[in-house]
Amino acid sequence: MNQPQEKTVEPTTAKVSFYEKHKIIYAKRVRGYFDNWRILLVAFTQVLFYGGLWLTWNDRQAILLHLVERKFYIFGVVFWPQDVIYLAALLIVSAYALFLVTAVAGRLFCGYACPQTVYTQIFMWIENAVEGDRNARLKLDKAPMSARKFRIKATKHLLWGIVGLWTGFTLVGYFTPVQELINNVLTGQLGPWETFWIFFYGGFTILMAGFMREQVCKHMCPYARFQSVMFDPDTMIITYDEERGEPRGARKKNADPNAPKLGDCVDCNQCVIVCPTGIDIRKGLQYECIGCAACIDVCDQVMDKVGLPRGLVRYSTENAMAQHMGKKEILAHIIRPRILLYTAILLLITGLSAWFLMSRIPLKVDIIRDRSTLAREADDGRIENVYMLQIMNTEEQPHRYRVTVDGLPGAEITGEVEVDVPPATLQSFNTVVAVPPDAGKTGSNQIHFEIVAVDNPDIKVREKAAFLLPR
């Protein structure tokens, strides 16, 4: 007899996804001490950004990064492409300032002054004003499309669009004179690049602050990834007092704190609801935490309601939590070798940059020898070389400069030795240097040009050049 064959069961493979589906975070608005500071910082940064565009200085825009003229006007100082070293110094100072602040108090910049946080807050304020609080927004999004829902959503996006376009316009206004930009907009003569950047930057503002929000902090910002390198056990961070808060559980106001075997955390979940990145601070420090301290504000309010002391969630350090340090001890641990090193480097670079900026000579000179005519003999027998001088007056006032030459016996400039240069202008002119035929060796000889402002002898530049003597 044929034995029945057993059927083999093929093993099933479970699919594992490494990608989490995006969940919309409906952060609840909370008012408190740290929220007031955030409002102040948002207002301060935006007054600087939006208001700085309209400041005037010497009958011009006070801050103008004029790309067409290749000049950067910063109040009374004019920077040229040759001054890129100051931009490098500014970036280095900003980096070390960020390192110092992070080592002392964590991600304060992220929570209060980062453009992503600032504009996300602005867009969330508009959202709260139009759609209502968290519960109202949840209810609205779950409801089917209706005339009311369409009107509310359209109003919100219209306001977002106005803020975004005004932000893009403001940005472009720092690179194109704002009055010229306004005239171009009103007359419909806006250039293609100006149009592109207004809509590009405005659209990106809406995308990043209106839609992506915490996704930028979680997945796009590199700072969140390397912040752990700058943290140490004495860095001030937002912490949950686990020893005091656990085990969690609901408790009534004015209840005997010794009666129930529960910690101070009432497990209300408010710290999660108010978090703009949707994390639970009770699970410890996470890279998604931007240090906004919204959880501190709401937790303090809950503690007030249940009659428990504030500070269950607070700014503290790892060592302070482990060793039960007080405020004075925490402050004493701030001054440590790492902080002193960052501070010393920051002060050194800032001081040197300020000194070089204050002592910079508002005059730049480029000397180019005419290569089409290496050397020529004049009627009087002297040897002549032709040079092109590019004199750059970096001040916002005109100057008259006198040009002299030395380095070879009998060397002198034939023709005009003085030139007028308008304010913040590059002036080019040709000059001829003549020397006796026996003034130097055959071939290349080094000479020096000295350019001095007639009205201010302190403004002078000395540049070397090569003088060719034929065989």
Q: How far is Cα 267 from Cα 246, in angstroms, rounded to an integer?
A: 10
**What is the rounded CA–CA span in Å between residue 99 and residue 449?**
45
> What mean pLDDT is reported for the chain?
87
pLDDT above 50: residue 365: yes
**Per-residue confidence (pLDDT) for residue 3, from 0 to 100:** 55
> Taking the alpha carbons of 321, 324, 330, 336 in that order, is the dihedral positive or negative?
negative
Tens-digit pLDDT profile for residues 144-153: 999 999 999 9
Q: Which long-range contacts link 138-143 to residues 24+ away (Cβ below 8 Å)?
A: 138/26, 141/24
Q: Report whether the peptide linkage leading into residue 436 is cis, meaning its omega lies within 30 degrees of zero.
A: no
Query: Can you tell me the distance from the alpha carbon of 469 to that of 409, in angstroms, rounded to the nearest whole number?
Result: 13
DSSP state of 438: T
Question: Is residue 90 over pLDDT 70?
Answer: yes
d(CA 419, CA 409): 24
Measuring CA to CA, how many Å separate 6 from each of 10, 34, 365? 13, 70, 94
The residues near 308 (Cβ < 8 Å, ≥ 6 apart) are 257, 264
Mean pLDDT throughout 371-378?
81
In the chain, what are the domains?
Answer: 232-325 (no CATH), 363-469 (2.60.40.10)
What predicted TM-score, i.e. pTM, was given to this entire model?
0.82
Question: Please, are residues 27 and 124 in contact by the beta-carbon 8 Å criterion?
Answer: yes
Q: Which residue has the tokens 């969630």?
A: 313
Radius of gyration from C-alpha coordinates of the chain: 34
| Whether pLDDT at 123 is above 90 | yes
* Per-residue exposure over 346-362, b if at least 16 CB sit within 10 Å of its own CB, e if not: beebbeebeeeeeeeeb
Q: Is 321 helix (H, G, I), strand (E, B) or coil?
A: helix
For residues 179-184, average pLDDT: 90
Q: Is residue 223 pLDDT above 90, yes or no?
A: no
Tokens of 276: 């703009």
How far is 212 from 124, CA to CA, in rounded Å?
12
* pLDDT of amino acid 119: 95
pLDDT tens digit sequence for 310-337: 999 999 988 888 888 888 888 888 888 8
Tell me the per-residue pLDDT of 98-120, one tens digit each, with 9 for 90 and over: 888 888 888 888 889 999 999 99
Cβ-based burial of 57 (10 A; exposed 0-12, middle 13-18, buried ≥19): middle
Cα distances (Å, whole numbers) of residue 323 to 332, 334, 439? 14, 15, 82
Instruction: Return the minimum-mean-pLDDT range out of 8-22, 46-60, 146-160, 447-461.
Output: 8-22
DSSP string, 45-104: HHHHHHHHTT-EETTEESEEEETTTTEEEETTEEE-GGGHHHHHHHHHHHHHHHHHHHHH
User: With bands split at pLDDT 50, 70 and 90, how would you rate the model's confidence at 18?
Assistant: low
Q: Is the pLDDT of residue 1 over 60?
A: no
Long-range Cβ pairs for the range 252-261 (8 Å, 24+): 252/306, 253/305, 253/306, 253/307, 254/307, 257/308
For 332, the token pair is: 């004493």
Q: Say if residue 79's pLDDT is above 90.
A: no
Q: Specify which of 78-92, 115-129, 382-396 reaches the highest per-range mean pLDDT.
A: 115-129
pLDDT of residue 9: 56
Quickly list DSSP for 400-417: EEEEEEESSTT-EEES--
Each residue's pLDDT tens digit, 402-432: 999 988 888 888 878 888 898 888 888 888 8
The residue among 230, 227, 251, 468 whose CA lies nearest residue 371 is: 468
Residues 275-286 have a mean pLDDT of 89
Q: How far is CA 329 from the centre of its chain?
A: 33
Per-residue confidence (pLDDT) for residue 14, from 0 to 100: 59
Question: pLDDT of 230-251, one tens digit each?
Answer: 888 888 889 999 989 888 888 6
Mean pLDDT of 429-440: 87
Which residue is listed with tokens 């020397």? 435
8 A C-beta contact, residue 205 and residue 120:
no
**Residue 150 confidence (pLDDT):** 95
